Chain A
Amino acid sequence: MQQSYTESIREAAKRLLSEKRVEAVIGFRKGTIPFMNEPFLARTVEQADLLIWDGNCAMNLANYLPKRTGSVAITAKGCDSRSIVIHLLENQIKREQLYILGIPCRGMTDKRKIADNLNGREIIEVEETGEKLRVLGRDFEQSFERTEFLEENCAVCTHKNPVLCDELLGEPVEEQQIDRYEEIRKIEALPPEQKRLFFDELIQPCIRCYACRNACPACYCPTCFVDESKPQWVGKTTDPTDTRTFHFLRAFHVAGRCTDCGSCERACPVGIRVRLFTRKLEKEVKELYGYEAGVVQDERPPLDAFRPDDPEPFLG
């Protein structure tokens, strides 16, 4: 199935590039190590043949759009398309600059989960056929059912189909009805002291590399709050208070804008589940204001709007 996406992406890219509709097509090409594809800008018809699509295209390509000049085509899964909507709402790019190649997404493979099942053996090659994965190493070969090894955010995804596109490259997939916030509610139910310890332990390995910020399509401030020095709101050390401040503010900055694409978590070199911060805000925004980031195209983001009768749970 994913194979056919590759074909249709190449075909569409060649058409758009040869018609000079767009200057480049943002997509993926095969990476140099297994389970990793790299983002790629195809600028010529020949380069379009390098574009591919499989279960390792998790990165959110909307990250390449802010402040771009000229016209581009972009391959977009459900989450990418929602991030594109956020960029359009925030005037980071104009709709007429974009040609969106929508891809109904079947979820992305979690390479860490696969690696956990291999007892430390090195993966040399991966073959993906439909929903089957064949992992090859030096002296072993193992098969996996891809659907059992999806990324955490893909497993609870409720917007697999693009919300906005110029061309849909395949049949829409079925959206799942699922409780996205079960885990968040469990944390909410902990006593205050336990919550603090839980999050302290969660972010304890953080090395403050800011990979989560860099991977995030919603993080495009010219000067990030962590780089501000006068006044300096966030200390730059790995002191627990500084790290807590950083994770808190990072999540707060994407409140009502985060589409739960999971880029932050995937980028984290020490495997911190940073989505536990952002998903709580996502839940609050949905419960208080009935808003889901990037789903509606003609409504201002929740923190840039108000209703006279907004709830006031914080009073008292």
Chain B
Amino acid sequence: MSDWEPRIIAFLCNWCSYGAADLAGVSRFQYPPNIRVIRVPCSGRINPKFILAAFRHGVDGVWVSGCHPGDCHYIEGNFYARRKFALLKSQLEYTGIVEPGRLHFSWISSAEGTKFAETASHVVESVKAAGPAQHFVKKQAEVA
């Protein structure tokens, strides 16, 4: 399994973390290439279904990043998201669907390119430590 590399879906808020990824890029900060970014309008847009769907389709980790509480472009979107995430993470780990270390949340503003690169490295590292996620992948063929 030495050549195994995790696949990680990152849901990034358009107004902050997505900008931070851009900044990290133009600043030439290094971070591992395992994340696949999906741009969302707000961390409040994240539905638990999205995260389950990602795991069902075989990703090894999910990372959700939004604006710092109080800095939401839509004033309060991430305040609602925060309550949702707290319940979501604890319930996912309680039911054993997601082991600790696979699901990550962070607040990163568009000026925090360094924090983005550091968090990305941290996320990739802990998902690597958790290993490949297989048991939530649907084995039967899905009808398109």
Contact = CB atoms under 8 A, between A and B. Distances in A.
B107 interface: yes
A225 B49 contact: yes
A116 interface: no
A248 B92 contact: yes
A67 interface: no
A310 B79 contact: yes
A39 interface: no
B91 A281 contact: yes
Interface string A196-228: 111110000000000000000000000001000
B56 A277 contact: no
A187 B90 CA distance: 12
Pick from A197, A225, A241 the residue with the most CB of B within 10 Å.
A241
A193 to B, nearest CB: 7
A187 B135 CA distance: 19
B87 A281 contact: yes
Contacts of A314: 85-86, 88-90, 105
A43 interface: no
Nearest to A255: B87
Contacts, number: 114
Contact of A313 (B90, B96, B142): B90
A303 interface: yes
Contacts of A252: 48, 87-88, 91
B121 interface: no
Contacts of A255: 87, 91
A311 B93 CA distance: 18
A284 B86 contact: yes
B48 A249 contact: yes
A308 B95 contact: no
Interface string A233-250: 111010101101101110
Q: Tell me the dominant secondary structure on chain A's binding face.
A: helix
A244 B86 contact: no
A305 B84 CA distance: 11
Nearest to B130: A192
Interface string B65-86: 0000110000010011011111
Interface string A286-307: 0011000000000000111110
Contacts of A302: 83
Given A192-B96, A199-B96, A312-B86, A242 B138 contact: yes
Contacts of B142: 235
A280 interface: yes
Contacts of A178: none
A306 B85 CA distance: 13
B137 interface: yes
B53 A233 contact: yes
A244 B87 contact: no
A20 interface: no
Nearest to A194: B96
B86 A280 contact: no
Given A306-B82, A315-B105, A244 B91 contact: no
A33 to B, nearest CB: 35
A306 B44 CA distance: 12
A188 interface: yes
Nearest to A287: B90
B97 interface: yes
A288 B49 contact: no
Contact of A312 (B82, B135, B139, B140): B82
* 7 closest cross-chain pairs (CB), A and B: A196-B96, A195-B96, A306-B79, A314-B89, A241-B138, A233-B49, A192-B99
